[in-house]
Structure 1
Amino acid sequence: MAGLFKWVSDSWAKQFPKGFFLNDAAEVAIALENAEMAMPSLVEDEAGTRLFIGAIYCACNQPIIFKEKITTIITCTNDTRGFPSFNNTVKRLKENLGIQYATLTWKDDDEQTLSKDDLGGAIKFIHKQRQGGESVLVHCVMGKSRSAALVLGYMMAKEGIGLDEALEKLKACRDVAPRESFLRQLKELEDWLKSLKSEMQELKEVVGKEGVDVAVAGLERMK
């Protein structure tokens, strides 16, 4: 088996830049054991910028990050200590390619609040990166709940759609299962976005744009 790990590592080494492949037998083992979970799901692909969602193993999958030209990674988990491969990968990608990282220290439990500061800031960050032509990966541990909550919030703000429609669209891309407490809070976001429509014209004049810019402007007013 060690020979297989070395063969995979050596094969990847020929295809990708130095320092941008799994060059440690333990990391290769993790990648092989979690091959399906290491593949991100494409949510949006438009104007040269893409949005992906996935598990923490996706953020460790350096060849896929390179292939898909992912330049921004948002981590939606409070603890990555159990994933040394992830922490090693973060260090490598920052040093070798300048991958940008942002972290939301969300716990996957019913007590976790999706605050306007966290949610609004992350939505704004995704929007800014994609406006600059960057491709973004949003992940938590399993790619089902916390990362899904953020992607849903972004879709609602960007497209002006309700939670049910956003969830239907996201489930068409990936088997997600956001925690019920997250869905309740996203429903509150939906209600707030609906109420924002009465202020939409004024906000459009303030930010000069629609979609996420308007929603973020509203979120900032709520602070």
Structure 2
Amino acid sequence: MDLQARLELQRRRLVPTESRVTSADGRVTLETRQSDGRVQLRPAGTAAGFVVDPSPDLQVGEVRGWLCVGSQDAAHHRALLRRLGVTHVLNCATRVDNLFTDELTYLSVPLLDLPETRLETAFPAAFEFIDSARATGGRCLVHCNAGVSRSASLCVAYLMEREGLTFTQGLQQVNAVRRVRPNPGFQSQLIDLGRRLRQQREGGP
């Protein structure tokens, strides 16, 4: 199934939601997303505004010597990647280009940052790619857009699968090097992964 078909499938699975959005100047809008994907906007007063930080997010967390996690800003900063010794880039965002194919090895496993997105579809290729970076003495940067949900979840899952960590241990170790927030659906899937891995180690069904 190609990316467009997957996006359409995910769109059809959307449930009605309502979000309260505050703009930088303090205007508050209620954003209602219908099950068919349509969005309705309604003014809802004002609140205290905030200062927008336009600076790029170049903070990269070193999870292991061969494994880092960060945002698309870091993935698009050639000088930073060179300084960090990144040789492999695992891109799990959608619609984010791989810019430096002349000098880096890339793998794209596009995932939507939605609770119902099935993370395990990316595990085999992603884990093998990270392992290949390690085996060749390289360093892999895992990134999505903000570098806090999809990429972090893949790093946590990798630690659980390859090192036998629990979900809590894996999340703590990733969080120690970069503040991350896997969405609730991803957290639930990672907890289920931990349960399955524990059963396998114990020889259960």
Normalising by structure 2, report the TM-score: 0.69
Counterpart pick for 2:67 among 27, 43, 51:
51
Please state if 1:107 is matched with 2:128. Answer: no
1:194-209 correspondence runs (5 A): 194-199=198-203
Please state if 1:94 is matched with 2:115. Answer: no
For the aligned residues, what is the CA RMSD? 1.9
Number of aligned positions between the proteins = 152
Q: Calculate percent identity across the aligned residue pairs.
A: 26
Quick one: distance in 1 between partners of 2:161 and 2:199? 13
1:52-71 correspondence runs (5 A): 52-71=68-87
Contact kept, 8 Å, 2:148 with 2:182, in 1: the verdict is yes
Normalising by structure 1, report the TM-score: 0.64
Quick one: distance in 2 between partners of 1:75 and 1:129? 14
Please state if 1:150 is matched with 2:166. Answer: no
5+ long unaligned stretches in structure 1: 1-31, 81-86, 201-223
Contact kept, 8 Å, 1:34 with 1:57, in 2: the verdict is no
Counterpart pick for 1:40 among 43, 52, 60:
60
1:123 maps to which residue? 127
Contact kept, 8 Å, 2:61 with 2:174, in 1: the verdict is no
Q: What SS does the aligned partner of 2:122 have? A: helix
Q: What SS does the aligned partner of 1:94 have? A: coil
Higher strand share: 2
Q: Which string of whole-angstrom CA distances, capped at 9 and with x for unpartnered residues, describes residues 146-165 of structure 1?
A: 00110000111121110011
Q: Give the letter aligned to residue 40 of structure 1.
A: V
- The higher-RCO structure (CA 8 Å, 6+ apart) is 1
Counterpart pick for 2:174 among 170, 176, 193:
170
Higher helix share: 1
Q: What stretches of structure 1 move > 2 A for 4+ residues in a row? A: 32-35
Q: Which string of whole-angstrom CA distances, capped at 9 and with x for unpartnered residues, describes residues 184-215 of structure 1?
A: 11111111111111459xxxxxxxxxxxxxxx
5+ long unaligned stretches in structure 2: 1-52
